[in-house]
Amino acid sequence: MSLRLDDIHVELAGKTIVAGASVLVSAGEVCGVVGPNGGGKSTLLRTIYRHLRPKSGQVRLDDVDVLALRPAEAARRIAGVPQETRSDFDITVREMVAMGRTPHKHPFAAETRTDRAIVADALHRVDATALADRHYATLSGGERQRVLLARALAQSPEVLVLDEPTNHLDVRHQLDLLRLVRELALTTVMAVHDLNLAAGWCDRLQVLAEGRIVASGPPDEVLTPALLRSVFAVDADITTHPRTGRPHLILSPLG
């Protein structure tokens, strides 16, 4: 399942946030969206899972406009994990993850054995089985992030959209999450704050600055000292990671 964004423009409160972004994510590819704060990354991702409607342009799954899909069908095909979610839900973690099965069920249908197995597997994949009976509101930020990913996995989607998925996670769970994303082999778009994580785990990067895609390609082609200086206002020495062979950035203030 490929994902294509064609000339997406988004306005919020009369201000242009995304100004003509075009992105192609091939089937099974992990595409990272990087850029300075306020560049439009979250806004762009929200248009993919229909939280926002673009002023113009299209988001397409293969040849299908996502806005033409019924809500339940869109939710069966695209799962989104936002950067921030309210933490005052008075439900258990298991119930939160089970909400991911909603698009696959008739209204008021009882939970099936298959549903329970999918929820249990999703919790296991994100190392959250021990949290299943905890109330969601009692979790730390990192625990909530893992639970929200489990809910997305329970949707059994074809496309996964993650907004800063490593936020609040400790180092071990950051790496576990990114390894899981790659193992899933889903078409994935994720905003990534840490450039070394983006370089180490993404097949392709889109650099978004002031609402525009200013560079696109494999990490070793995109993350150049010149781009890092012009877009992120930092100096960079770029080496090769000794274990992965991927680019590794050593960043310094300008000058």
CA distance 43 to 21: 11
Structure-token match 């992105």, residue found: 23
Decide yes or no: CATH 3.40.50.300 for domain 3-253.
Answer: yes
Q: What is the pLDDT of residue 83?
A: 84
- Tens-level pLDDT at each residue, the chain (255 residues): 999 999 999 999 999 999 999 999 999 999 999 999 999 999 999 999 999 999 999 999 998 999 999 999 999 999 999 986 667 778 999 999 999 999 999 888 899 999 999 999 999 999 999 999 999 999 999 999 999 999 999 999 999 999 999 998 999 999 999 999 999 999 999 999 999 999 999 999 999 999 999 999 999 999 999 999 999 999 999 999 999 999 999 999 997
Q: What is the pLDDT of residue 255?
A: 79
CA distance 130 to 93: 10
Q: Which pairs with CB-CB distance under 8 Å and at least 24 residues apart come from 133-140?
A: 133/92, 133/93, 133/94, 134/92, 134/93, 135/89, 135/90, 135/91, 135/92, 135/93, 136/87, 136/89, 136/91, 136/92, 136/93, 136/95, 136/96, 137/87, 137/88, 137/89, 137/90, 139/87, 139/93, 140/168
Domains of the chain, residue spans: 3-253
What does 119-145 look like in DSSP terms, one character per residue?
Answer: HHHHHHHTT-GGGTTSBGGGS-HHHHH
Q: What is the pLDDT of residue 85?
A: 67
Q: Which amino acid is at 9?
A: H
Q: What is the DSSP letter of 248?
A: E
- In order of 16, 210, 252, the CA distances from 12 in angstroms are 7, 14, 34
